Chain A
């Protein structure tokens, strides 16, 4: 069994977002880049499965679409335990553009399981995994919070509104994963970092795809007004404010 993990390269989650003067672009200067948190959990689970079933899981490949500067993030994924990496040499585009680049790069390759995070922490569009599945004509299960292999049978838990379902699905399948899929993200070991340098990283050219949407402009969210403090021995004042001022109870 071969597993493909899609990796999005995103600003560290504590990054303060800055913009160009015309507010049409994000200013990424000085940003610390990380593996998208959900993708990191997906990769962690793939590695755990390979370690637990060495005879079954042959290879973990990581893939991203981006220019050469995203290779640092791919090397980090290799250092965590992926076997090889693919970079589609594409500019950034919308979800449909990115998903098409990834799908075109792996079409015809024998991946049994493709893992994608449920969203990317930059554009929060929850789109690439489902789009890839449709482009490849594979099954997909979204909101997956646990993944286990029973021989070649793929068993997953899907989170639904107010509950969960245990599902069995045959590969090839795209699993769109969320919290719970792994608990502690893998951190590269010293040895991992050393071996990552020599692991294969293949660069493939982008394909011609027309994006279907674009960002027109950005805006900082409106500032919050000051917090009204209430004395701990005047809780009835809180009740009063919530009822008469905020009108939410």
Chain B
């Protein structure tokens, strides 16, 4: 009844979401009365791998390879490790990598898959988990009936917990692993805060009136240490890059604090942000549906309010 957690790295480093995943796996292993193992694929040094011990990792299997993400090859490797370590539950993140690999691993293990699980299982026997459905309009409980199970965790729904203990790192033989997709080039943001990892997100909609007005929004984000996001029409119009688009057809995020600035609050937009712990909305229309989803609201014109908000938060930060 052991658990295997697959973790990815960003230039050899882990993130808070990695620690959430590891400590989540630890708690599931405890619930099942089994052991936890971690499989890391990529170039990660021993010091970084050992950090996982603080979150209950126990045993880390490290597949040290330069090979870029190749769905088929990575999935085969994870499934092989799962079989060797007798894992009955395999856990991944519900992000673009997890979405690519979990279904393939599930087929290899002949396991049922539930993605986007919220928090810990509700029961272990039967194995029942909770997740959102209909893009956040419904919650459901699903039972995985197969012997082996694969789940992906919705970020920020389990939290990071510390389980200090010893950790052993074992290499995984990768000599036979080869991929067949060819990466021609990649373009990865550096220095900026990842939207999916950010604790605070400042997001703009069509009410921002045009790309030339984004400077004040970026200033607010900078003061708060926040990532920036936008509604779909804003990215469709090319005012902002596509990777900032949140909502049903864009990214689904769950920050602690989400600012919806000049966003009407269409149901498809809310599908991507309704898991935020706190939502602040600014809109000149007091009837805008965003106010039914928000915790705090200001009715007014952003052209005036946005610079004032930035000023107020700057003052707060200076005194904090």
Taking beta carbons and an 8 Å cutoff, which residues of A are in contact with B?
11, 13-17, 26, 37-38, 94-96, 99, 118-119, 121-131, 133-135, 138-143, 145, 155, 158-170, 176, 178-180, 183, 211-221, 224-225, 227-232, 235-236, 238-239, 241-243, 246, 248-249
Are B71 and A130 touching (Cβ within 8 A)? yes
Complex CA gap A13/B266 in Å reads 11
Task: Determine which of A95, A215, A232 lies in contact with B103 in the assembled complex, contact meaning CB atoms within 8 Å.
Answer: A95
User: A127-B113, A133-B71 given as contacts; is B182 within 8 A of A167 (CB)?
Assistant: yes
Separation in Å of the B254 CB from the closest CB of chain A? Answer: 13
User: Is A218 touching B250 in the complex (CB atoms < 8 A)?
Assistant: no
B196 proximal to A (CB < 8 A): yes
Shortest beta-carbon distance from A154 to chain B in Å:
10
Query: Which of B113, B132, B199, B316 has most chain A Cβ within 10 Å?
Result: B113
Within 8 A of A (CB), among B129-145: 131-145
How far does the alpha carbon of A166 sit from the alpha carbon of B131 in the complex, in Å? 32
Looking at chain A's contact residues, the main secondary structure is mixed
A152 CB, nearest partner CB in chain B, Å: 14
A232→B300 contact, CB < 8 A: yes
Assess whether B186 is in contact with A165, with CB atoms less than 8 Å apart.
yes
Assembly CA distance A168 to B256 (angstroms): 38
Given A134-B75, A231-B298, A236-B312, 5 more A-B residue pairs with CB atoms under 8 Å apart are A140-B104, A164-B186, A213-B114, A213-B143, A228-B295
B181 at the interface (CB under 8 A from A): yes
For residue B249, CB closer than 8 A to chain A, the reply is yes
Set of chain B residues within 8 Å of A243, measured between Cβ atoms: 316
**A residues in contact with B280, CB < 8 Å:** 238, 242
| A232–B142 CA distance with the chains assembled, in angstroms | 45
User: Would A159 and B144 be within 8 Å (CB), given that A126-B103, A134-B103, A166-B184 are in contact?
Assistant: no
Tell me the minimal C-beta distance from A248 to chain B in angstroms: 4
- B138 proximity list for chain A (CB < 8 A): 17, 26, 218-221
Question: Contact: A125 with B115, CB < 8 Å?
Answer: yes
* Nearest 10 Cβ contacts at the A-B interface: A130-B103, A212-B112, A163-B188, A142-B100, A213-B112, A232-B300, A134-B107, A212-B146, A165-B186, A134-B104
B97 nearest CB across to chain A (Å): 7
Residue from the list A221, A227, A249 in contact with B281, Cβ < 8 A: A227
Judge whether B180 and A217 touch: CB under 8 Å: no
Is there an interface contact between A216 and B312, defined as CB atoms closer than 8 Å?
no
A224 to B141: give the CA distance in the assembly, Å: 21
- Tell me which of B33-41, B53-61, B302-310 binds A: B302-310
Q: Is the CB of B142 within 8 A of A215?
A: yes
List of A residues within 8 angstroms of B292 by Cβ? 224, 227
- The answer to whether A218 touches B139, judged by C-beta atoms less than 8 angstroms apart, is yes
Partner of A215, one of B136, B141, B152, B295: B141
Question: Given that A125-B116, A160-B188 are known contacts, is A169 also in contact with B97, CB under 8 Å in the complex?
Answer: no
* Distance between Cα atoms of A235 and B308 in the complex (Å): 7
How many angstroms from the CA of A125 to the CA of B129 in the assembled complex?
Answer: 13
A133, B248: Cβ atoms closer than 8 Å: no
Bound together, the chains give a CA A99 to CA B138 distance in angstroms of 23
Assess the B291–A248 pair: CB atoms within 8 A.
no
How many inter-chain residue pairs (CB < 8 Å) link A and B?
Answer: 282
Residues of A within 8 A of B299 (CB): 229, 232
Q: Which residue of A159, A164, A235 has the most chain B CB atoms within 10 A of its CB atom?
A: A235
B278–A248 contact, CB under 8 A?
Answer: yes
A residues less than 8 Å from B294 (CB atoms):
227
Nearest B-chain residue to A100, judged by Cβ: B107
Whether B107 contacts A135 by the Cβ 8 Å rule is yes
Distance (Å) between the CB of B211 and the closest chain A CB? 17
Interface residue from A129, A239, A248 paired with B316 (Cβ < 8 Å): A239
Contact indicator B106/A127 (Cβ below 8 Å): yes
Find B248's partner among A37, A135, A169 (CB 8 Å cutoff).
A37
B80 beta carbon closer than 8 Å to chain A: no
Checking B112, B183, B296 against A227 with a beta-carbon cut-off of 8 angstroms, the contacting residue is B296
Does any Cβ of A come within 8 Å of B72's Cβ? yes
Contact assessment for B200 and A96 in the assembled complex, using a CB-CB cutoff below 8 Å: no
B257: chain A residues within 8 A (beta carbon): 242, 246, 248-249
B142 partner residues in chain A, CB cutoff 8 A: 213-216
Does B81 reach chain A (CB closer than 8 Å)? no
Residues in B whose Cβ lies below 8 Å from that of A168: 181-182, 184
| B245 interfacial by beta-carbon distance below 8 Å | yes
| Cβ-based interface call for B96 (8 A) | yes
Residues of A within 8 A of B102 (CB): 126-127, 130
Residue in chain B with minimal CB distance to A126: B99
With A126-B103, A127-B103, A166-B183 known as contacts, the answer to whether A216 contacts B75 (CB < 8 A) is no
Partner of A214, one of B101, B115, B145: B145
B208 → chain A closest CB, angstroms: 17
Say yes or no: is B108 at the interface (Cβ < 8 Å to chain A): yes
B315 contacts across to A, CB distance below 8 A: 236, 239
